[in-house]
Amino acid sequence: MDHRLPSEVVEEIVSRALAEDVGAGDITTEATVPADVRARGEIIAKQEAVVAGLPLVEAVFRNVDSGIVVEPAVQDGGRVAPGEVVARVEGRARGILTGERTALNFLQHMSGVATLAARYVKAVKGTKARILDTRKTIPGLRALDKYAVRMGGAHNHRMGLFDAVLIKDNHIRAAGAVATAVERARAAAPEGAVVEVETQSMAQVEEAVGAGADVIMLDNMSPEEVKRAVELIAGRAKTEVSGGVTLETVRSYAECGVDYISVGEITHSARAADFSLEFLEE
């Protein structure tokens, strides 16, 4: 998988963010800081974190003032300790001040996601389970959230409704049965598409296996139920745990022998990492 963020995605998102924050102009900075004043600053980590979002930081300052130079001191995916320099910024003070909040917002949010993803990956180390994200992302910023997940060492589930088949409980209710939903998906999906089905009971697990699902999601089951389901499936399909997984419980699910564990918390509830931009005295 390509871990990079497409430049066109970065530019579009940054453009929207600056339009939202700067609008017609930074009236405080323009009133108080002469246009020819230059400054140097450092983005400093105020906590341990996995960094993600530096391409956004660079794009923010470049779009505010093309003369601003950003020099990352670490790479996305790297770990930093409190007090460590993440990046150095130099250029006209007006541009740095105008772009500061938007740049830090991207860096703090994305690094928070990457840091939490890394904690989940560490929690299942030594098992075969892979940590996956979900579609529970900030609308319009999914590409950033999923990139941050990758920087934390976890893996992406589907990007949207268009690139994978995932038959969930309401699909099953509307179709009438697990087998019916799987058969219809097989008939309509592109050739070679993976068909995954969500199950909530052993009866549904048996039905999904019989219908030939490629991946069986074990939704909101206890570790004991998951272990039974894995034994029942017996390698005839990949297995994924989902629903209510926490850092405290993820290891117990991983030790059941599942292939994947999807965790919505990574993107919908990650706490922003703490960074600040400090000007250096000349």
Would you tell me how many other CB atoms lie within 10 Å of the CB of residue 161?
A: 9
Which structure tokens are listed for 73? Answer: 């001191």
Which of 46, 88, 135, 168 is the catalytic position? 168
Q: Which of 84, 196, 207, 219 is catalytic?
A: 219
Q: Which of 38, 79, 101, 158 is an active site residue?
A: 101
**Cβ-contact 178, 197 below 8 angstroms:** yes
Is position 122 annotated as part of the catalytic site?
A: no
**CA–CA dist 75, 269 (Å, integer):** 24
238 is catalytic: no
Active site residue 136: yes
Decide if 101 is catalytic.
yes
Q: Single out the catalytic residue among 136, 158, 228, 238.
A: 136
Respond yes or no: is residue 133 known to be catalytic. Answer: no
Catalytic residue among 26, 133, 196, 198: 198
Residues forming the active site: 101, 136, 168, 198, 219
